[in-house]
């Protein structure tokens, strides 16, 4: 069946297929929502059954190997499935409308595996004893999460996490062509979502060895991810993105945007 046939309303059973795709997108989004909320508790040590500093005890070598393997698994999945060459190959087997939802679901499940199998490394690197200062640092971490969520809505939250695609498919409407925009945070830094994650991961009143490993590796991965993502953005938007990259800082707003 061709792609045109797959979205044609006259095909028998097509409504069922579209509705099934929509349900799949909804499940993927709810899984993401649960995962990101759990991630906040996991990193900050609040309101979840297993945090970055709790769980089964293990030797330091085992903990490092297991934790690095889990983070590498997420990095490979998150990067490879986001590349255009993989999308072109992958959509030969799955409908284009659920490609993003599938990516989101796989990323969420990989993160949940990381949370589940993470080995704590409880040695303390720093511990802020002053209650007021500890509260300020915890608040800064929360601000990082706010930046993450706000930045997704500034572009298109529901497209970013696949709901827009399956909703359009449900009503037989094609996705609009991508438009390059730089709302609010994006006028000061090119990647405010990544900046928010860095703030959230590093602003910790108590920093354990496990938390430090998590923050350091994810930060390194963020820079690799930016390099790959910006290559794709240049390919998509050309000189428009090149000019944007020249005048706006990558993560920290040290350059004035025009």
What is the three-class DSSP state of 189? strand
Tell me: the pLDDT tens digits for 149-168?
Answer: 999 999 999 999 999 999 99
Higher pLDDT, 71 or 14: 71
* Nearest residue to 28 via CA among 99, 93, 121, 132: 99
What is the three-class DSSP state of 139? helix
State the Cα–Cα distance between residues 37 and 44, nearest whole angstrom. 11
pTM tops 0.95: no
- Tell me the HSE value of 142 on the side-chain side, using a 13 A CA sphere: 8
Q: Which helix (H) or strand (E) holds 130?
A: none
Tell me: the pLDDT tens digits for 189-245?
Answer: 999 999 999 999 999 999 999 999 999 999 999 999 999 999 999 999 999 999 999
Q: Mean pLDDT of all residues in the chain?
A: 91
What is the three-class DSSP state of 207? strand
Helical pair 163-170 and 99-117, crossing angle rounded to 10 deg: 140
């Amino acid at each position: 069946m061709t792609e045109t046939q797959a979205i044609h309303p006259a095909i028998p059973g097509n409504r069922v297929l579209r509705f099934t795709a929509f349900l799949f997108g909804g499940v993927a989004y709810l899984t993401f929502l649960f995962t990101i909320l759990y991630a906040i508790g996991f990193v900050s040590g609040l309101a979840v059954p297993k945090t970055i500093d709790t769980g089964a005890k293990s030797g330091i070598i085992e903990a490092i190997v297991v934790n690095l393997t889990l983070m590498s698994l997420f990095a490979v999945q998150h990067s490879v499935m986001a590349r255009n060459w993989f999308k072109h190959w992958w959509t030969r087997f799955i409908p284009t409308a659920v490609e993003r939802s599938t990516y989101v679901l796989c990323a969420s499940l990989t993160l949940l595996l990381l949370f589940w199998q993470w080995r704590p490394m409880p040695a303390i690197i720093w511990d802020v004893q002053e209650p007021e200062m500890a509260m300020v640092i915890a608040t800064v971490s929360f601000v990082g999460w706010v930046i993450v969520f706000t930045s997704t809505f500034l572009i298109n939250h529901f497209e970013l996490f696949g709901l827009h695609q399956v909703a359009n498919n449900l009503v037989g409407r094609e996705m609009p062509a991508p438009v390059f925009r730089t709302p609010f945070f994006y006028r000061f830094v090119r990647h405010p979502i990544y900046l928010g994650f860095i703030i959230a991961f590093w602003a910790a009143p108590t920093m354990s060895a496990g938390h430090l490993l998590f923050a350091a590796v994810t930060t390194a991965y963020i820079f690799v991810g930016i390099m790959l993502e910006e290559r794709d953005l240049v390919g998509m938007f050309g000189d428009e993105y090149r000019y944007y990259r020249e005048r706006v800082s990558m993560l920290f707003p040290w350059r004035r945007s025009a």
